[in-house]
Amino acid sequence: MTNAHAQLEALGDPTRRAILEQLLSGPKPVGEIAKRFPVSRPAISQHLAVLKRAQLVADRAQGTRRVYQVNLQGIEAMRAYLDRFWHDALAAFKRAAEESHR
């Protein structure tokens, strides 16, 4: 599975999307993230592990806590993957428009 596929699969879960959206405002420890969800802290840790394997988040030790933040390189890689579809769609639209004017 390519990293883009792993990223899309990771974001297929609404809880993981919500976690990623939370992290857009800045780094947060697991406990702070977990407070906002009706699931256990270990469940949030599992979701974070999936996001980390997909390279969408990164973590670092801060004392005895793990602090998570958005991995900008992973987000950029996913954007580049999705931009290919946009580019191909625009090129197809351009070809269709040019053919209709002939």
Per-domain boundaries in the chain: 3-100
Residue 89 scores a pLDDT above 90: no
Is 3-100 a CATH 3.40.1350.10 domain?
Answer: no
**59-80 per-position pLDDT tens digit:** 999 999 999 999 999 999 999 9
Q: Would the pLDDT of 42 be above 60?
A: yes
Q: Which residues of 10-33 are buried (b: 16+ CB within 10 A; e: fewer)?
A: bbeeeebeebbebbeeeebebeeb
pLDDT band at 58 (very low <50, low <70, confident <90, very high): very high
Choice between 98 and 26, residue whose per-residue pLDDT is larger: 26
CB 10 within 8 A of CB 46: no
